[in-house]
Amino acid sequence: MCVACGCGSDAVTLSGPDAAQAGQGAHSHSHERAPDDGAHQHGHAHGHSHSHDPGEPAQPQHSHAPGLDARRMVEIEQNILAKNDGFAAQNRVRLAADGVFALNLLAGPGAGKTTLLVETLKALVGRVSAAVIEGDQQTANDADRIRAVGFPAVQINTGKGCHLDAHMVGHAMDRLPLPAGGVLFIENVGNLVCPAAFDLGEDKRITLLSVT
């Protein structure tokens, strides 16, 4: 679970273009359980030459550690964030190699992230190449709205997870035709707490606040 909020970590699912449609290579990773801290370790490398089943769900990097004291929980969270930072660095290198500018959009539930993104994309039609990674706990409605504007989108459903992490985003990138020289928009799960702690490999973050 997330130490910050206690969210769960049931299976993550991705929907959208598969790797073959996106023109990406295959992708390989392995999941090994850490012997002591209860966190997931991921041996994983992003790039253009991978061997990976594109249908394999990415798993969120959370710890399951009921009964541990606060000090140990902090150590576990630090380990999780350090692993995430490694995946974020790999995402950042890959995006930079293609000249892709990545934005991570954060806001609380119902603040209007998707509406802002849809209207932005409408203004970019015919001017800027773009692709979108959508994060949501359950539905694929947001990705459907993006595709209706004419841009490729992959939906990440996190289940009980309250945020995206860099590992999930790396899998989603494998399924997208990354817009060389364009923009990758990442709409995070509606939450202003945990998403702030997880670097996804983005260049900038945009925070949307609702004041009504």
What CA–CA distance (Å, rounded) separates 127 from 31? 41
pLDDT greater than 70 at residue 140: yes
What CA–CA distance (Å, rounded) separates 12 from 168? 8
Bridge partners for 155 per DSSP: 15, 134
CATH code of domain 13-208: 3.40.50.300
What pTM value is reported for the model? 0.73
SS3 call for 54: coil
What digits encode the pLDDT tens for the residues 159-211? Answer: 888 899 999 999 999 999 999 999 999 999 988 888 999 999 999 999 998 87
> What average pLDDT does the structure give for the chain?
78
For the chain, the structural domain boundaries read 13-208
Q: At residue 175, what are phi and psi to the nearest 5 degrees?
A: -95, -5
What CA–CA distance (Å, rounded) separates 120 from 112? 12
Inter-residue contact 107 to 163 (CB < 8 Å): no
